[in-house]
């Protein structure tokens, strides 16, 4: 039985999940800031804010420690099992280079993740979780 197709589909599913995580991290900050400016109460829900802070915290920590994202590793492994080429760099680096034809040394991505993480922390301080929610 040839497992290449199901394995490739699993790799694509991991890619989709990874993209959704990136969208949550980037879009989450945009939603927190815009939502507070537009008085959307739900953007300060504690669960949403903790999940968002934890997600970017994980990314910053793995970049500082030089750890490859587990989703990148899983997708690469699945792609090699399906007979395709694996990533030679991280997920974000791979797709930025592919979409924008932009190459940068790894420290640029570490710095970008760190600055973005700091922006999330500033948003946490400026728009604390629970602010504006009804307290019954």
What's the domain range around 93? 4-126
Q: Which helix (H) or strand (E) holds 40?
A: none
| Angle (deg, nearest 10), helices 91-100 and 70-81 | 70
pLDDT given at position 86:
72
Q: What is the mean pLDDT of each run of 10 residues along the chain (136 residues)?
A: 77 87 96 96 96 97 93 89 75 62 76 95 94 46
pLDDT of residue 15: 85
Cα gap 90→87, rounded to integer Å: 7
Whether 113 maps to a domain, the answer reads: yes
Q: Does residue 33 lie within any of the structural domains?
A: yes
* Residue 133 in domain: no
**How many other β-carbons are positioned within 10 Å of the β-carbon of residue 63?**
22
User: pTM of the entire structure?
Assistant: 0.80
State the total domains in the chain.
1
104 located within any domain: yes
The answer to whether position 85 is within a domain reads yes
Q: For residue 110, is it within any domain?
A: yes
pLDDT value of residue 29: 98
Confirm whether 117 is domain-assigned: yes
In our burial notation (b when 16+ CB lie closer than 10 A, e otherwise), range 77-105 reads ebbebbeeeeeeebbbbbbbeeeeeeeee
Q: Is residue 131, in this structure, part of any structural domain at all?
A: no
């Amino acid at each position: 039985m040839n497992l290449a197709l199901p394995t490739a589909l699993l790799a694509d599913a991991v890619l989709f999940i990874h993209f959704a995580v990136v969208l949550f991290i980037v879009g989450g900050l945009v939603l927190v800031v815009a939502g507070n400016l537009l008085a959307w109460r739900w953007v300060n829900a504690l669960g949403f804010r903790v999940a968002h802070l934890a997600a970017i915290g994980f990314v910053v920590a793995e970049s500082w420690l030089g750890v490859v994202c587990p989703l990148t590793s899983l997708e690469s492994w699945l792609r090699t099992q399906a007979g395709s080429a694996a990533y030679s760099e991280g997920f974000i680096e791979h797709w930025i280079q592919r979409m924008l034809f932009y190459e940068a040394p790894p420290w640029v991505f570490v710095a970008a993740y760190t600055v973005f993480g700091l922006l999330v922390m500033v948003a946490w301080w400026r728009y604390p979780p629970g602010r504006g929610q009804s307290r019954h």
